């Protein structure tokens, strides 16, 4: 073969290989896995959703779901900071924080779907801008070992936080950072004769009642496990789900439904407005409301479902649902519109008067 023919052959081979490489690259681009980012609490919730609920959706939609962990306040701050070019696609927030997010225009209306019709009416936000994913309530948790050692009877009332025998043994979540702390304060405020429209009774009485008993104000409940385990805390505001998780880790703790009632606490989801994958995000939100997904949440993470068709897969799960239904008989709702309108003023007052 002369040099001219050799050059032509090499050129043809080069062109063919380039075309093949371009075709392969093009095919890879078409099938490339997309990524959806979802803001939610870390810990048990992140583990349960990541291991038991996301994989089915990921496989069916050729997508990877990545959790951005944080408290509701953290997630809301991230969404607000990037509202013009969101870094997340879906977010989980406590119901009160979600009401703020909706009011700030951070959420996209959920598309009509059968799952929305299956969830409890209380879990549907106005105009379907968000929807409850898990249901719960804030009540009280107490250290069973400490109570047994000291022969104390279990607490029964929000006012037990003010009992002098618990001096230095009460841990309260910070009102500005935690729904648990806010709920506890608002129930105390109601007992003092106040309401969401008037929190003066609660603030005025705090320093002479609960305040002296508080060992520490914490930004979230993550630290409570260690504090209960080490015998530092006697009682703290907490949910039945959180208590069940701690008990599962061998921590000596039990939940109490206060006689004045607990406060309804939902974790709600919304599709973030202006996100880069609106259709996929809507599909993910629908999947997370499904009975199948929520049954898995109940089975593997003690997450009480908002979908009424979710099934208890074992006797223990049914017991969780039965207890939840019993607690709901005395659970109360708080006025989130009033709360959110006044929250900045309350937070400033709390920081100035309570946690000074």
For the chain, which residues make up each domain, given as ranges? 33-135+267-311, 137-264+333-354
Q: What is the pLDDT of residue 324?
A: 86
Please tell me the distance from the alpha carbon of residue 297 to that of residue 255, in angstroms, as a whole number.
20
Residue 1 has what pLDDT? 54
Going residue by residue through the chain (356 aa), what tens digit of pLDDT does each one get? 555 545 555 455 555 555 555 545 444 444 588 999 999 998 889 999 999 999 999 999 999 999 999 989 899 999 999 999 999 999 999 999 999 999 999 999 999 999 999 998 889 999 999 999 999 999 999 999 999 999 999 999 999 999 999 999 999 999 988 889 999 999 999 999 999 999 999 999 999 999 999 999 998 888 999 999 999 999 999 999 889 889 989 999 999 999 999 999 999 999 999 999 999 999 999 999 999 999 999 999 888 999 989 988 888 888 888 888 899 889 998 999 899 999 999 999 999 999 98
Closest CA to 286 of 128, 116, 36, 53: 116
Which residues, in sequence order, are CB contacts of 258 under 8 Å at separation 6+?
Answer: 139, 140, 155, 156, 157, 158, 187
Residues 6+ apart with CB under 8 A from 349: 203
CATH code for residues 33-135+267-311: 3.40.190.10
Instruction: Please tell me the predicted confidence (pLDDT) of residue 129.
Output: 98
Contacts (Cβ under 8 Å, ≥6 apart) of 66: 35, 36, 37, 38
**DSSP helix/strand/coil, 240:** helix
The phi, psi pair for 89, rounded to 5°, reads: -110, -35
What are the beta bridge partners of residue 270? 91
Q: Does domain 137-264+333-354 have CATH number 3.40.190.10?
A: yes
Using DSSP's 3-state secondary structure scheme, residue 307 falls into strand
- Count of CA atoms in the C-beta half-sphere (13 A) of 101: 36
Answer whether 33-135+267-311 and 137-264+333-354 agree in fold: yes
Per the CB < 8 A criterion, the answer to whether 243 and 141 are in contact is: yes
Three-class DSSP labels, 247-293: HHCCCCEEEECCCCCCEECCEEEEEECCCCCHHHHHHHHHHHHCHHH
């Amino acid at each position: 073969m002369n040099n001219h023919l050799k050059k032509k052959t090499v050129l043809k081979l080069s062109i063919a290989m380039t075309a093949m490489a371009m075709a392969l690259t093009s095919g890879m681009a078409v099938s490339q896995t997309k990524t959806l980012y979802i803001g939610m609490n870390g810990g048990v919730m992140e583990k349960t959703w990541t291991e038991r609920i996301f994989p089915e959706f990921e496989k069916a939609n050729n997508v990877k779901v990545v959790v951005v962990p944080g408290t509701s306040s953290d997630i809301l701050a991230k969404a607000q900071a990037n509202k013009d070019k969101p870094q997340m696609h879906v977010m989980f927030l406590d119901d009160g924080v979600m009401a703020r997010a909706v009011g700030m225009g951070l959420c996209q209306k959920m598309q009509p779907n059968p799952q929305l019709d299956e969830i409890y009416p209380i879990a549907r936000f106005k105009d379907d801008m968000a929807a409850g994913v898990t249901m719960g309530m804030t009540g009280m948790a107490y250290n069973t070992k400490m109570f047994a050692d000291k022969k104390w009877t279990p607490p029964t009332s929000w006012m037990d936080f003010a009992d002098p025998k618990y001096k230095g043994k009460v841990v309260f979540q910070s009102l500005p950072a935690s729904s648990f702390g806010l709920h506890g304060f608002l129930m105390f405020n109601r007992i003092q004769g106040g309401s969401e429209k008037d929190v003066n009774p609660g603030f005025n009485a705090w320093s002479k009642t609960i305040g002296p008993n508080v060992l520490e104000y914490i930004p979230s409940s993550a630290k409570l496990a260690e504090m209960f385990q080490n015998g530092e805390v006697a009682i703290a505001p907490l949910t039945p789900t959180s208590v069940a998780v701690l008990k599962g880790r061998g921590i000596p703790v039990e939940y109490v439904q206060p006689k004045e009632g607990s406060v309804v606490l939902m974790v709600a989801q919304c599709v973030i407005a202006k996100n880069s994958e609106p259709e996929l995000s809507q599909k993910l939100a629908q999947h997370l409301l499904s009975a199948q997904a929520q049954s898995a949440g109940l089975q593997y993470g003690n997450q009480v479902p908002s979908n009424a068709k979710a099934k208890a897969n074992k006797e223990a799960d049914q017991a969780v649902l039965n207890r939840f239904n019993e607690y709901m008989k005395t659970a109360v709702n708080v006025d989130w519109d009033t709360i959110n309108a006044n929250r900045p003023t309350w937070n400033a007052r709390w920081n100035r008067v309570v946690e000074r």
